[in-house]
Structure 1
Amino acid sequence: MAAWDKRLAGVRGVLLDISGVLYDGGEDGGAPIPGSVEAVARLKRSRLKVRFCTNESQKSRRELVGLLRRQGFDISEGEVTAPAPAASLILKERSLRPHLLVCDGVRSEFGQIDTTNPNCVVIADAGEDFSYQNMNKAFQVLMELEKPVLISLGKGRYYKETSGLMLDVGAYMKALEYACGIEAEVVGKPSPEYFQLALKEMGVEAHE
């Protein structure tokens, strides 16, 4: 115990990923990874601040937290840093009107955003909505813009569900980058700005 206390000297907070760390998703809601519920509970009982930092972009924070709570996790919506709310703030700050290529489950996070006459594209893990028709529409919107802006909620290659590995948003982001000759702005891990946002919301510095 003394060894751990020494290692944690000066540490005030812990950032936890969710998918693949706390639970594996799936059509049936997924399942917690063995020991993860207890680990979160133990951290919550410690002196450390805990924040959940995820690239989950198929579900709203409310839906994600509800799922995790049903699996036994001690977690609240206010403890989660997620890419869709972060992207929504960016859209407001820059007066961007997105064409959304996202799952229906996460559209509520953009409820206060004007989506008429789009001047950018926001792409997330759209799952079954990554059809040729939907990808081509996003491509067309970008190609019609003088200065195309593509915002991607994460850039993962794949992730794990209970049924196996699933293709992630990064593959589709790269397709649009290649087709349009542009570079996407990534909102989510591993963007340093995203981690800084999580630290700010947790109230700690990076060295802590």
Structure 2
Amino acid sequence: MAKLRSSVSGRRPIHGLLLDLDGVVHVRGKALPGSLEAIARVRAENIPLKFVTNTTRLPRRRIVEELAQLGLQVAMGDVFTPAILARAFLLREKLAPFLVVHPGLLEDFVGFPEQGREAVVVGDAGAYFTYDKLNDAFRKILRGAEFLALANNRNFLDRDGELSLDLGAFVSGLEYASNRKAVVLGKPSPLFFALAVDSLGCAAEDVAMIGDDAEADVGGAMAAGLMGILVQTGKYRTGQEKELDPPPTFVAQNLADAIDFLLF
């Protein structure tokens, strides 16, 4: 794919980096060519780096373990997921979660009371989405429960190499039925980016976000004041950068190309 410099004037020195995982660092359990070496370059420059993902089927522990299997050592606190942000929100507001999530994610929500003011928490439950579960969530939302969506993505790159339906369609369905808007905690939520940027210890304008999702990764980051780098790997489809206004800071062939651009 051709290298596109969508906004060369937007290039400036970075003091922090946010990096998406699936579709940028790895695809279907395999590291993308040059991705680990690119991360090593960032670390060698001592640029603060955090990993941000909208994955809502795996707990943070499993994400860190799978990265280690790829040869990438990452501290638990350097990985930001919607579930971790949701956990903090629930604890702060003293809410009892009603979870519509994949069973694999449940360990990120242990220790909450089963009784009390409720919050419906919707993640990508995959095959575990059922009418009864969604209808229970709908009724709770109608009765006044908080309505939290771990993400709102349209689709994701599945293990068979094709795009599959993501959480956004189910969130939209519940919003339509209940006439309530969900509080979205994952990308492109400004709250998600603000939390990750704060952990880097620098201003948003000095941070770049690299992702393969034009809307959630790049559009969300730029709306939050960050530089947005779109990579043409993972779920990227030709021409998606044209849907963004303003356009991405840069459109890169892959992660290595993105790091070349940033470490000019």
Aligned residues: 195
SS at match of 1:68: helix
Of the two structures, which has the highest relative contact order with CA contacts closer than 8 Å and spacing of 6 or more? 2
State the Cα distance separating 1:53 from its structure 2 match. 1.0
Matched-pair identity in % = 35
State the Cα distance separating 1:72 from its structure 2 match. 1.8
**Partner of residue 181, structure 2:** 183
Q: Does 1:15 align with 2:18?
A: yes
1:49-68 matches, within 5 Å, as 49-68=48-67
| Deviation >6 Å, runs of 4+ | none
1:164-179 matches, within 5 Å, as 164-179=162-177
State the Cα distance separating 1:8 from its structure 2 match. 4.6
| Aligned Cα root-mean-square deviation (Å) | 1.5
1:144-163 matches, within 5 Å, as 145=143, 147-163=144-160
**Partner of residue 195, structure 2:** 197
TM-score (norm 1): 0.88
Letter in 2 for 1:75: V
Mapped to 2, the partners of 1:32 and 1:131 lie a distance apart of 33
Mapped to 1, the partners of 2:103 and 2:159 lie a distance apart of 22
Letter in 2 for 1:156: N
Mapped to 2, the partners of 1:184 and 1:15 lie a distance apart of 25
Larger displacement relative to structure 2 (151-160 or 93-102): 93-102
- In structure 2, stretches of 5+ residues that fail to align are 1-10, 207-264
Mapped to 2, the partners of 1:113 and 1:120 lie a distance apart of 11
Mapped to 2, the partners of 1:8 and 1:69 lie a distance apart of 31
**Partner of residue 70, structure 2:** 71
Mapped to 2, the partners of 1:78 and 1:125 lie a distance apart of 22
Mapped to 1, the partners of 2:83 and 2:114 lie a distance apart of 15
TM-score (norm 2): 0.70
**Partner of residue 234, structure 2:** none
Mapped to 2, the partners of 1:123 and 1:84 lie a distance apart of 10
Mapped to 2, the partners of 1:142 and 1:16 lie a distance apart of 34
Mapped to 2, the partners of 1:140 and 1:38 lie a distance apart of 49
Residues 72 and 8 of structure 1: is their aligned pair in 2 closer, same or farther, counting only changes over 3 Å?
farther
Mapped to 1, the partners of 2:57 and 2:191 lie a distance apart of 21
**Partner of residue 141, structure 2:** 142
Is the contact between residue 177 and residue 183 of structure 1 (CA under 8 Å) also seen in structure 2? yes
State the Cα distance separating 1:117 from its structure 2 match. 5.1
SS at match of 1:207: helix
SS at match of 2:41: helix
Letter in 1 for 2:191: E
Is the contact between residue 57 and residue 84 of structure 1 (CA under 8 Å) also seen in structure 2? yes
Mapped to 2, the partners of 1:100 and 1:81 lie a distance apart of 19
State the Cα distance separating 1:136 from its structure 2 match. 1.7
Mapped to 2, the partners of 1:175 and 1:157 lie a distance apart of 13
